[in-house]
Amino acid sequence: MAVLLWLLDASLASEESFAAMKESLNNPVYKFVLWGVLAVLAYHTVAGVRHLTMDGGVGETLKGGRLGAKLVVLLAIVLIVLAGVWIW
Amino acid sequence: MVTAVTSFGRSGLYDWLIQRVGAVVLTAYTIFLVVYIALNPDLDFAQWSALFNQLWMRIFSLLALISFITHAWIGLWSVLTDYLTNRLLGAKATVLRVVAQMVLGVAAVTYLVWGVEILWGF
């Protein structure tokens, strides 16, 4: 959250800080940190959508639960890889 | 061990609902920003600050910020009251948990003030 707020702050504060932020995101360490943040966010979001789906009574059986868990991991991996492709 | 007194809505049902409404807002905000940035690969400062200059975007952003804080508070309250328990750690567990929650509270206020400053300060 702090990383994302820092990015928003830098991107909106001024034209110079926007450019400086863009420049600093070329740094592989910053890229990796941003990827880490997006990866956590992607997994949490996908798992959260599953949670709300199950709140709605869908996929509540043992079979459905197992399938849902696998789908979450699979979809999260796809999104995390896509995020990596996007950043690099 | 008293735990409900530090929950967000002082009722499990309120917390449940606030948690989920916040989750939907955060998902919508995340998808919106990811799609917006992905569709504008040559995004420059003028376009970006024009987006955040609009009232609806500021409302959307503030809503997401408030949702984040409540969502995190409720979620971490669940985790802390599950794992920092007297049964697991003895009498010091409650002190430890309340200290952790104070740190989280300070973080929440910090994010709120910082976020408002970002949104209305440029």
Chain Cα centroid distance, residue B30: 13
Paired tokens of B33 = 């920003």
Instruction: Specify if B98 maps to a domain.
Output: yes
Instruction: Specify if B2 maps to a domain.
Output: no
* Chain B interface disruption, residue of A3, A6, A8, most B CBs within 10 A: A8
CB A83, CB A42: distance < 8 Å: yes
What is the mean predicted confidence (pLDDT) over A39-51? 96
Chain A contact present for B50, CB below 8 A: no
CB A86, CB A57: distance < 8 Å: no
Q: Quote the number of domains for chain B.
A: 1
CB B57, CB B64: distance < 8 Å: no
Q: What range defines the domain where residue B86 resides?
A: 12-120
Instruction: Specify if B93 maps to a domain.
Output: yes
Instruction: Specify if B35 maps to a domain.
Output: yes
d(CA B81, CA B68): 20
Taking alpha carbons only, the member of A50, A39, A49 closest to residue A85 is A39
Instruction: Specify if B7 maps to a domain.
Output: no
> CA–CA distance from A23 to each of A13, B35, B41, B57 (Å)?
15, 22, 15, 26
Can you give the pTM of this predicted structure? 0.92
Q: Where are the alpha helices (DSSP H) in B1-122?
A: 12-39, 45-53, 55-83, 86-89, 92-120
Q: What pLDDT was estimated at residue B33?
A: 97
Instruction: Specify if B6 maps to a domain.
Output: no
Instruction: Specify if B96 maps to a domain.
Output: yes
Helix axes B45-53, B55-83, angle to 10 degrees: 80
Q: What pLDDT was estimated at residue B14?
A: 93
d(CA B33, CA B35): 5
Chain A contact present for B53, CB below 8 A: no
CATH number at residue B112: 1.20.1300.10
* ipTM of the complex in this document: 0.92
Which of the 8 DSSP states describes residue A61?
S
CB A3, CB A36: distance < 8 Å: no
Percent of chain B exceeding pLDDT 70 equals: 98
Chain A to chain B, count of Cβ pairs less than 8 Å apart? 41
Q: What pLDDT was estimated at residue B5?
A: 84
Which of the 8 DSSP states describes residue B5?
G
Instruction: Specify if B4 maps to a domain.
Output: no
Which chain B residues are closer than 8 Å to A13 by Cβ?
A: 118, 121-122
Residue A59: its H or E element: none
Q: What pLDDT was estimated at residue B122?
A: 78
